[in-house]
Each structure stands twice: as structure tokens, then as C-alpha cells.
Structure 1
């Protein structure tokens, strides 16, 4: 699988993160119209944090995001921004609809979330690549080898 690397001032990177957010109490509250607004909102948040929303979709009780993450941004900070801003936007624009599912303190998303790192190669391939690196030549009084830290 070919993919392009991003370039920063002092690094080259490709950090893809698959996020899943579930509605509070797993209520089937999300409508197709809400998904459209949510995608636009979350895309804007990602851009503001120097990330990019690559894919977005969802069902009535959860959404999936594939984010090209900047190394400057901690995943937990991104998730907090995505969930808090989108929750506020959903309550503002779809408050009447959401009132049939939620009452009391307005909260849209569950506190929990799923975050899975993704990559271009399976983990076994990456491990094998690292294991097969050439060991540097060292003076006779130094020992290098697999599993040793120096």
C-alpha cells in the first residue's frame, strides 16, 4: 500500500488514527442530517489542529473517523476537542430532536472512545523489518546484539 508522507519542520510522518465515538447510553439519536453537520464540524476542528479528517461515517449510535494526525497534537487532546465541540453543535442545532433521548445535563457523547493506530503495513511486517536491520560494526570491546540496549 502506497501512501504519501507528511513533512514537518524537523520530521517526516504519517500518523493515521481510527476513532470511534459512541452516543451517551448508546441511544440511536444520530440522523443523516446530523452526520453531515458532524462531518463538517469535525473536519474543521481537525484542520484547526493541523490534522486532516480522511474519512467519516456513522450509524444511529456511533461514528467512525479516520484522522491524519499531526505529531504536534496528542490524540487525547484531539478527541476532547472533537467530542466537546461537536456535542455543543449537535445540541444547538438539533436540541429538539435530542431532547427525546436526553434530559437533564446535556451530554451527547459517551465519555469512552476507541482509538486505534493504523498504518500502511501489518505489525508483523514492521517487526520483521526492524529485526532485520544490519547491526552496526563496533570496536571489539563493545557488544551489540538483538535485545540489548546501549
Structure 2
């Protein structure tokens, strides 16, 4: 199977490692709530033709390895995933979440971690470019 995305005017393989942390590092990602949060993120990605290669969580944060389109910025991807998962979580689990976030309808901390990943090392790319022409 081809790992590249084929579009009308490009062929690409853009991947990013994302980490979202729960607000105040509350240890709430477990059981059905954890499974549903992952499903909300998965569904949002599917709607936009982003592909989750791997997603796992600990009690207070979630890791996502995501393949995305060149027309999407990482900042916008993060914003959309956090907003949608927060909205759906509060819609379904408001009684539970009120115990942890009694003043605001929040789920994730304001920041995030993002690192682009490649299928080859920086050294390999530098050597390839150096040997052109």
C-alpha cells in the first residue's frame, strides 16, 4: 500500500506527532471517557481526510501520530481537534467534568506539543541535497 497521499496537484507525506495535556493535568483519561475522547478525535480527523497512524493516552495526556494535508496548518489541526473533543466531551460527560472544571467548560491545557516527523533522517536529506547536480 502506498503511504503517500495523492492529490490533484501534489503527492505528499506530512506527519506530525501531537501531544495534548488535560487542563491542570487532571488524571481523567481512563475508561469509557478515554475511549470516547479518542473516538471524537478520530471522527474529526476522518471528516477532514487526516489519518491517525497511532493514538494512545495516559491518564493526563494523549499522543497522536497524524498524517495531514499540505493545505492544513498544525495550529488549525490542533485547534479543531481540541475544540471538537472538548465540545463533545462536555455534551456527553458534563456531570463528570463539572467535578474537575467547575468554573469553565474546558478539557485541554492551552498549549500543545507538535513535532514533524520524517521517514528519513536530517543527515540523509542533507546528503541527498548536497549530491544534487
Is 2:32 aligned against 1:33? Answer: yes
Q: How does 1:75-114 map to 2 (within 5 A)?
A: 75-114=74-113
Q: Give TM-score, length-normalised by structure 1.
A: 0.83
CA shift for structure 1 position 35 = 2.1
- Per the alignment, residue 72 of structure 1 pairs with 71
CA shift for structure 1 position 3 = 6.3
Q: Say which one has the larger Rg.
A: 1
- Per the alignment, residue 20 of structure 2 pairs with 21
The alignment partner of 1:110 has SS state of: coil
Which is bigger in relative contact order (C-alpha 8 A, separation at least 6)? Answer: 2
**Aligned residue pair count:** 133
CA shift for structure 1 position 130 = 1.2
- Per the alignment, residue 58 of structure 1 pairs with 57
The alignment partner of 2:100 has SS state of: coil
CA shift for structure 1 position 32 = 2.6
Q: Matches of 2:45 and 2:129 in 1, distance apart? A: 32
Q: Matches of 1:91 and 1:70 in 2, distance apart? A: 29
- Per the alignment, residue 137 of structure 1 pairs with none
The alignment partner of 1:82 has SS state of: helix
Residues 43-89 of structure 1 deviation map (CA, whole Å, 9 limit, x = unaligned): 11112222111211101100011111111211111111100010111
The alignment partner of 1:47 has SS state of: helix
Residues 79-113 of structure 1 deviation map (CA, whole Å, 9 limit, x = unaligned): 11100010111112222222221111111100100
The alignment partner of 2:120 has SS state of: coil
Structure 1's unaligned 5+ residue stretches are 135-150
Higher helix share: 2
Structure 2's unaligned 5+ residue stretches are none
